[in-house]
Amino acid sequence: MGTRKIHVAVVSAYPPDRGRLSEYAKMLLTSLIKINPNLKITVLADSRLSYSDGPILVRSAWKPDSPASLLKIVKEIIKSKPHLVIFNVHFAVFGKRRISNFIGFLVIYITNLLKKILKFKTITILHNIPEAIKIEVLGLKRTIVNNVGFLLAEKMALSSNVVAVTLKLYAIMLEKRFRKKILHLPHGAWSWSTNTPIKPDDRDVIAFIGYLSPTKDLEVLVNAFKKVKERTTNIKLYIIGSPHPNFPEAISKLVSIRGNGVEILGYTPDEELPRVFRKTLVVVLPYKTATGSSGVLHLVCSAGIPVISVNLPEFRELAKEGAGIILTKMSAEDIANKIQLLIKNKELWYSLSKKSMDFGIKRSWDYVAKELNNIINTVLKH
């Protein structure tokens, strides 16, 4: 396409919003435009205000849980006249209500109906799929209405020219069910310089990092920590994160667990994380179900921090791919034993730390952005 700018419209949550893939979008798009400065990127975001994020234009286009505003996304796409539209979505990205997310996925379908007329291409980056989530954890049931709704939403997401998912497991499941080629676009890993030797000595923090929601069992983690503290007194548990925007009521979980070595740090900006990482022995992810490829694991891995995670298919895949993970049962006893193993076995800790760092380098945001740029070039040629 010569030197002409390629205009890419991206439908996504975006900072200053937190959660709903906003952090993912910022990291991916910042790396993408660095790799390909010939792109003109407009984010059609859930932001209250329009603003410029460096070379990226962020336009206020929709509000979570506002079906009427979601339909305006189509109008914004038509107005922006892109060469390519990318949808960065999962099944709760448009809000907490099912109707909001269904309409959000309907927008993907409507956009794909218009693509031939308006001569643009489409990509869906899909971060989770209903078949892989234990929806009962989220208070939903496998009713006929829900199953039909999920099926239609998936079909609408898959109407794009290209569909990419962040786990190979999801690609296999979708290809088997819908007979459509699905690409694997790995989640990106953050890069950190903690300015300290990678060693377990003087690391006295067990950390939970992430948004609070029904999918994570802090009670089991706190009980595991109590068992560890009986054997290793000079240890702390940091709870780093805030309630997910879809689950503000999760703040109530924090009230009863503070004290006795448990510290609530709340939301911690990226620039403050290296200070915490220097003290962190291990990050524990007590997930009842996974809702995609773990952003937290990709956040901490290049800092050389091992991860203990519940034995779910998503984490098994990441472990197989080389992440520094110890898999555990969802029980306080088993989690405590795994933590104690890392405290006592320095050789194991070093091994997992190195695996984490290598995994982080392999999955850097620049690498993922290059993969996405290749996908963009391919889809625009056809």
pLDDT in tens, 135-165: 898 888 899 999 999 999 999 999 999 999 9
> Among 368, 335, 311, which Cα is nearest to 166's?
368
Convert the pLDDT of each residue in 200-219 to its tens digit.
Answer: 888 999 999 998 888 999 99
For residue 28, is pLDDT > 90? Answer: yes
Q: What pLDDT sits at residue 19?
A: 85
Task: State the CATH number of the domain containing residue 318.
Answer: 3.40.50.2000
For residue 2, is pLDDT > 60? Answer: no
> Among 338, 339, 308, 335, which Cα is nearest to 323's?
308
* Rounded average pLDDT over 243-265: 80
* Position with higher pLDDT, 220 vs 18: 220
Same domain, 56 and 146: yes
Same domain, 122 and 252: no
Same domain, 182 and 249: no
Specify whether the CB–CB gap between 320 and 359 falls below 8 A.
Answer: no
Same domain, 18 and 85: yes
Same domain, 128 and 176: yes
Rounded to 10 degrees, the C-alpha dihedral 218/222/223/226 comes to 170
Same domain, 213 and 328: yes
Q: How many CB atoms lie within 10 A of CB 288?
A: 17
3-state SS, residue 264: strand
For residue 245, is pLDDT > 90? Answer: no
Query: Tokens in use for 299?
Result: 């956040």
Residue 131 lies inside a defined structural domain of this protein: yes
Quote the distance between the C-alpha of residue 204 and its chain's center.
Answer: 27
Residue 193 lies inside a defined structural domain of this protein: no
Q: What pLDDT sits at residue 4?
A: 81
Packed helices 168-178 and 313-320: angle between N→C axes, nearest 10 degrees: 120
Q: What pLDDT sits at residue 18?
A: 87
Name the maximum alpha-carbon separation found in the chain.
67
Which residues on neighbouring strands pair with residue 209, listed in sequence order?
Answer: 240
* Range scoring the smallest mean pLDDT among 75-89, 113-127, 233-247: 233-247
For residue 353, is pLDDT > 50? Answer: yes
Convert the pLDDT of each residue in 158-202 to its tens digit.
Answer: 999 999 999 999 999 999 999 999 999 999 999 987 656 677 888
For residue 233, is pLDDT > 90? Answer: no
Residue 197 lies inside a defined structural domain of this protein: no
Same domain, 56 and 66: yes
Residue carrying the six token digits 């690609």: 171
Which residues on neighbouring strands pair with residue 213, listed in sequence order?
Answer: none
- As a whole number of angstroms, the distance between CA 276 and CA 192 comes to 12
DSSP output for 129-173: -GGGS-GGGGT----HHHHHHHHHHHHHHTTSSEEEESSHHHHHH
Ramachandran class of 112: left when φ > 0, alpha when ψ lies in -120 to 50, beta otherwise: alpha
Question: How confident is residue 258, by pLDDT bands cut at 50, 70 and 90?
Answer: confident
* Rounded average pLDDT over 237-251: 84
* Position with higher pLDDT, 269 vs 43: 43
Domain residues for the domain of 171 are 6-188+364-381
What single-letter DSSP state applies at residue 303? Answer: G
3-state SS, residue 348: helix
Domain count, the chain: 2
Q: What pLDDT sits at residue 1?
A: 44
Q: What pLDDT sits at residue 38?
A: 95
> Among 21, 27, 17, which Cα is nearest to 54's?
27
> Among 116, 95, 113, which Cα is nearest to 104's?
95
Specify whether the CB–CB gap between 227 and 305 falls below 8 A.
Answer: no
Same domain, 312 and 370: no
- As a whole number of angstroms, the distance between CA 300 and CA 255 comes to 26
